[in-house]
Amino acid sequence: MNHPFEKLMKMELIALIVVLIVGTIAIAKGLFLLMIIGLYGIAASMIFSGMAAMSTRHPVTGIKQFLRAIILIILATLIISIWYNTAT
């Protein structure tokens, strides 16, 4: 029998594995854009974790994960805009 939230858990794990690969390449090559993509991937993993927590008896934990993901997305977007403005 499968866990009711197995799909969300798999999506969270896949997001973390992709972030690990992208982050390793970004650090090895020094590619700034891949580092930012890694931040967005971590935010996606947090969103999947929050969705799983909201579906169980832990809605406060789910809300915390959503807020962390939103803050991370905002910070990554600000970093991109600052980087773009200094590059031009």
**Structure tokens belonging to residue 8:** 């969300």
Indicate the SS3 state at residue 63: helix
Residues 54-63 pLDDT 10s: 888 889 999 9
- Give the global pTM: 0.85
* C-beta separation of 69 from 43 below 8 A: yes
Domain ranges (residues) in the chain: 6-87
Cβ(34)–Cβ(22) under 8 Å? yes
What are the pLDDT digits (tens) for 32-58?
Answer: 889 999 999 999 999 999 998 988 888
- Residue 40: name the closest of 67, 66, 12, 76 by CA: 76
49 within 8 A of 9, measured Cβ to Cβ: no
